């Protein structure tokens, strides 16, 4: 299974509004995407975080590069900063574990 963790922080009030207009539909897209096994969001230390589990990295990449999520990714640098981290695992981490991994190993954007 492929685990994907994202933590994003909007850059401004205007960016926060734009962020939510993209984040909510993207989350709904993830919830119903083929190959998605787990999908949750949580605010941690000022970051809007997602924790998802997928059948494979390839399935996750198909989701990532389509629909509303693709539109959100194209707007990302204008509206937010943050990190992403993905890895193969047999288990879904707890939120505490996930945020620690994201903080320590995530790629900055």
pLDDT at 63: 97
Per-residue pLDDT reduced to its tens digit, 45-68: 999 999 999 999 999 999 999 999
List 81's β-bridge partners, or say none.
Answer: 9
What 69-72 contacts at long range (C-beta under 8 Å, 24+ apart), as own/partner pairs, is: 69/26, 69/29, 69/30, 71/22, 72/22, 72/23, 72/26
Count how many Cα atoms sit within 13 Å of the Cα of residue 78 in the half-sphere of its side chain: 11
List 107's β-bridge partners, or say none.
Answer: 84
Q: Enumerate domains of the chain plus CATH numbers.
A: 2-108 (3.30.70.100)
- Give the model's confidence band at 109: pLDDT under 50 very low, under 70 low, under 90 confident, else very high: confident
């Amino acid at each position: 299974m492929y685990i994907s963790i994202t933590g994003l922080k909007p850059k401004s009030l205007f960016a926060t509004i734009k962020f939510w207009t993209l984040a909510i539909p993207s989350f709904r897209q993830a919830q119903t995407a083929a190959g998605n096994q787990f999908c949750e969001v949580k605010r941690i230390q000022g970051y809007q975080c997602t924790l998802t589990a997928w059948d494979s990295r390839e399935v996750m990449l198909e989701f990532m590069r389509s629909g509303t999520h693709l539109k959100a990714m194209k707007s990302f640098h204008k509206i937010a900063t943050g990190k992403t981290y993905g890895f193969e695992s047999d288990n879904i981490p707890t939120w505490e574990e996930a945020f620690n991994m994201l903080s320590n190993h995530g790629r900055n954007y």
